[in-house]
Amino acid sequence: DIPSEQWAQVIEKSGGPVVYKKIPVPRPGPDEVLLHIHFSGVCHTDLHTLQNDWPIPAPLPLVGGHEGVGTIVAKGDLVGTNDTGLRIGARAGVKWLNSSCLACAFCLAGDEPLCPRAQFSGYTVPGTFQQYTLAKAAHVTRIPDDDAEGRKLDLAALAPVLCAGVTVYKALKESGARPGQWVVVVGAGGGLGSMAVQYARAMGLRVVGIDGGKEKGDSCRKMGVEEYIDFTDYASDSEEGSKELQSPLSGPHAVLLLAVSPTPFRQAIQYVRSRGTIVCVGLPPNAELRAPVFETVVRMITIRGSYVGNRQDAQEALGFFLRGDIKVPVKTVGLSELGDVYRALGEGKVVGRCVVDTSR
């Protein structure tokens, strides 16, 4: 039974606070499914949205959230009934990429996050911080009922795979790092970072984690870093500071930049190995990349961006989770407490990922 009203967290003015209130349950269009969302991870992107950090403003009022796991409760007439896995009662995931045109050159080549007509969950269309959300059938992630061993899935732990997991898995592939090589994860104690450490390990890479504080350090070691560097131990949070960072790092093959501050984006060139790759993923507002041309050339450094992943990347990232390779502890709180999570994220106090339970 689908109710006519539901609880949601609504951004009514930019900067917040979010308002916990009842809103109507939407009905699916012909190419959409309606999901009863059970859990949704809270990504730092959701905080950027609340704070209106980025060049493209989000339309308000808005329901945020883009890391949702749910059950399909209704679907439109164009959604196939046969082998698509989208039957009523099936589990499915909602990602940042809510839809794309499926017809442009990017979509046809499996680069649908680059589609000029892409829509984003919790940014340009309502997201997963509500009990029922719409999603385009073509873009939901199919989730089996059980894991690879036939055990019941931990859906709260699975939720972060749908943004953090797919994003870092894709970024690691984009880095070109091979099994046995070193990768530095900058922001390793956060949501994407915790996942990145585990995916990197599962992909046979050796990991150095950088983040701030002892609690994040303990968590990084649990996730599997061989070395933890506490950036707050270094004298200056500046490009100069990177000279100190170089010595413990000794030339990683790849650097994944997941932090939400601009400084580490400028430091990475100083310590990445010659012929190494710097992958930019974090989105600090108004930040600019800067690298000396001479060093970039004579050391053959690659600097690239990586943006979520395509539908296949999502299924592959989910596969690691289903096989038991991704064990990032999540802190689950009620959807009604989302405001506290935003606050903690803004203060850098979230270790790993917070997930909201839409039933409370």
Footprint of Zn ion (CB under 5 A): 43, 45, 100-101, 104, 107, 115, 163
In terms of CB distance, is 87 or 349 closer to ligand 8ID?
349
Which DSSP state fits 125? B
241 forms part of the interface with ligand 8ID (CB under 6 A): no
| 260 touches ligand 8ID by CB under 6 A | yes
Tell me the backbone φ, ψ of residue 208, rounded to 5 degrees: -105, 130
The answer to whether residue 93 forms part of the interface with ligand 8ID (CB under 6 A) is no
User: Between residues 6 and 9, which has the closer beta carbon with respect to ligand 8ID?
Assistant: 9
CA 172, CA 309: separation in Å to the nearest integer? 11
Please say which residue, 158 or 272, places its beta carbon nearer to Zn ion.
Answer: 158
Candidate residues 16, 68, 70, 187; the one interacting with ligand 8ID per rule CB under 6 A: 187
Classified as helix, coil or strand, 120 is strand
Neighbours of 252 (CB within 10 A): 25
Residue pair 77/133 in contact by the 8 Å Cβ criterion: no
Q: Which does 261 bind (CB under 5 to 8 A by kind): ligand 8ID, Zn ion, none?
A: ligand 8ID
Single-letter amino acid code for the residue at 270: Q
By CB under 6 A, residue 307 contacts ligand 8ID:
yes
Identity of the residue, 90 or 186, whose beta carbon is nearer to Zn ion in the bound complex: 186
| AA letter at 190 | G
353-357 and 32-42 strand pairing: antiparallel
Q: Which residues contact 248 (CB under 8 A, 6 or more apart)?
A: 227, 229
Contact window for ligand 8ID (CB under 6 A) among 16-24, 100-108, 209-217, 321-329: 209-217
Residue whose entry in the numeric block shows the structure tokens 């967290």: 9
How many residues at the interface with ligand 8ID, by CB under 6 A? 33
- Among ligand 8ID, Zn ion, none, partner that 282 touches (CB below 5 to 8 angstroms by kind): ligand 8ID
Rg (CA), the chain: 20
- For position 345 contacting ligand 8ID by CB under 6 A, the verdict is yes
Is residue 67 near ligand 8ID by the rule CB under 6 A? no
- 43 near ligand 8ID (CB under 6 A): yes
Angstrom distances, CA of residue 226 to CA of 19, 91, 111, 200, 271: 42, 36, 33, 12, 17
Contacts with ligand 8ID by CB under 6 A lie at: 43-45, 48, 163, 167, 186-187, 189-193, 210-212, 216, 231, 258-261, 263-264, 281-283, 306-308, 345, 348, 350
